[in-house]
Amino acid sequence: MRLERMGSMFPSRLSFLRSLTRRLSADKAVVTRSVWQMDPDGFGHAVYSLTLGGHVYSLVAFSNKLDPDQRTDRVIAQAWDAAFVLYDGVPDMAEIQRLSENAPKQEAGRFSERDLVLSRANKSVRLFAEVTKALREGRQPDAKMVGDIGYLMRTTAVYGNGKFGIADRNVIADRPGLEGPFAAEMLTVWLIRGFTHDLAEHVGGATLDRALKRHLGIGNSTGLGMAPFLVSHPELLNNWMMVRETALARVRAVRVLSRAQSDRLVVLAERVARHLNQWTVPDESQQARIKRLRQHWADLAPQLPDLLDQPKPLDQLIRVSQVLSVECQELVVSLVLEPFGDLIDGLTDCMGVGAGVPIDPRMDVADLREAMQRDCAWALGCDFDDPREDAQFWYVSEEKQEPRLGSRYSEAGSELESPLDTARQIQHLAQDLRHADGLLADFLRAYPQHRSAARRVQRLATHPYAEIRDNLICERCKPIDMLRCKLSFFGAAKFDPKSDRWTRITLAQGAPLHDELDDADDWWLPVFEP
């Protein structure tokens, strides 16, 4: 699993938001808006509730006035257009009051075990103004603008698992519907999306066209914080990838397609082409990739009917795609998974993680050396005498603890770097292991600095996708590749990189609205057709 491939991934039916909407649909979940206390300008609070797996959850939303000078998507922001809490149950007045005093402060607030997810969002100022103005004027908003921007608000953080006092993950880990990774967070963003629609209609004083509304997803700005997460949750990363690879293996093993399955794939491929034509970004590098991808897709799509008539047709399709761009290969993977829910949806139950894999100190160091040779060539091959190989360092700034990336040879602070230098750690372990013998326990008593690296090497024997097999501190490393991988598992599309360190994306575009859960699953790579 290399950065280039991670940075080329697309959402699929295994993505967490897709799993969630399927689950909401199966549960026949009904969203109710029990509180709507908004002034005419759209400032106030609201509460939405639904029942999932026998538990009631509520989104408590606060919409606030924000000085444009303060509107930033970065971690260092101090205020936002809106703040949200996913609440366990239905909050009473006292709880809403408590949340109103804390949620708008985000990281500076304190939260309780009833609070499951904390989030905030900023408006797309242009689109929110256009939509509300149009509705006030008795017309629908400019469809092109809706199509181009695609969301009314973008979240800039969605915190779960105990952050700032909210509930630990284990509080909900066994609850039906929320067992999967980031399920509570996905539920939150899907509910927020509906809130943004309601807010625009409230301020505009009229109803948005349903097709426009369905295209309005929820945006998100994501920065460097996602990259350390993947490094510090290796078992989770492994399980996501393992499920994806298992799903792919299952569909590649299908011997013959039914006519309906073939037709479905052809229809989906046509949809992909239209989706790609609607994916346009200002970033020149990504736009060039999209242009190339469109061309490759245009070359591939006409071959589909013939390929799908062959034995093991999806295996053939995957093989044919290997000569195309990595982004096109990844798109083909998501395509071939799409019609085979019966075959692969159950695998999503395996995407979570239990207790971490402990180190096995009984291992003979000779076996560890062998494991390194087998599984860690990507680390052992780095030349750290070359300054380009450790040119960058990851760190956490004292300014609101914002994760940042620095240049080792021109910026101060590298002595405090965060331990994302996995390749270098493994190489240091290899150097000290060269002349060692005996048990790993004995080695680690003398060299305790290698405990983490030894654990990572051991883990690869059972968790082959646990490591990003690249040097994360070299000059070439682009954090955006890690961000795109994780976001694709969330279900994000329309990646809109703003630099190699942060990106905007859209979630839930084309997804069912709060009152459309009876038709919940056909929104992979949606096309805007106003």
Partner 1 sequence: MSWIDDFLDGGPDYVAERRSVAEMQALFLKAGLGAKLPLGNAQDFSGMTALFMSDPKLFAMAAAALEGVHRPVHFEGTTEHMVIDDARIAMAAPAVTDAFVCGATRVVLHDLDWPQLLWPILVWAQQVYGVTLGIHRPDGRTVMILKTEQGLKPLGDPQAVPLVPLAQLEQLAAKTLVPSSDASRMSGAGAGLQDND
What part of residues 143-182 is at the interface with partner 1 (CB under 8 A)? Answer: 161-170
Q: Is 349 exposed, middle or buried (0-12, 13-18, 19+ CB in 10 A)?
A: exposed
Could you tell me the smallest distance in angstroms from the CB atom of residue 212 to partner 1? 20
Q: Is 482 in the site for partner 1 (CB under 8 A)?
A: no
State how far the alpha carbon of 525 is from the alpha carbons of 95, 150, 279, 494, 521, in Å: 39, 13, 10, 9, 11
Residue list 174-233, contact with partner 1 (CB under 8 A): 221, 223-224
Which of 444, 475, 496, 516 is close enough to bind partner 1 by CB under 8 A?
444
| For partner 1, the closer CB: 156 or 239 | 156
476 interacts with partner 1 by CB under 8 A: no
Judged by CB under 8 A, the residue of 71, 175, 233, 292 near partner 1 is 71
**To which residue do tokens 């106030």 refer?**
44
Candidates 104, 403, 491, 510; binder of partner 1 (CB under 8 A) is 403
Contact map string, positions 256 to 295, toward partner 1, x by CB under 8 A: ----------------------------------------
Q: Is 64 in the site for partner 1 (CB under 8 A)?
A: no
Q: Report 85-124 residues binding partner 1 (CB under 8 A).
A: 110, 112-113, 122, 124
Which token pair is 395? 């760190």
Euclidean distance between the first and final Cα of the chain, in Å? 39
* Structure tokens that stand for 192 in this block: 């927020």
Work out the number of other CB atoms within 10 angstroms of the CB of residue 527.
18
Q: Nearer Cβ to partner 1, position 161 or 316?
A: 161
DSSP 390: G
Quick one: which of 246, 277, 449, 462 contacts partner 1 (CB under 8 A)?
449
> Beta-carbon neighbour count of residue 270 at 10 Å?
13
What span, in angstroms and rounded, lies between the C-alpha atoms of 436 and 424?
A: 19
What's 52's DSSP letter? E
Among 27, 201, 402, 432, binds partner 1 (CB under 8 A): 402
Q: What is the separation of C-alpha 466 from the centre of its chain, rounded to a whole number of angstroms?
A: 17
Q: Which of 8-16, 64-72, 338-346, 522-530 is the region at the interface with partner 1 (rule: CB under 8 A)?
A: 64-72
Residues 6+ apart with CB under 8 A from 283: 496, 497, 498
Binding mask 414-433 for partner 1 (x = CB under 8 A): --x-xx-----x--------
Q: Which of residues 2-61 bind partner 1 (CB under 8 A)?
A: none
- How many Å apart are CA 136 and CA 205, to the nearest integer? 6
Residue whose CB is less far from partner 1, 80 or 279: 80
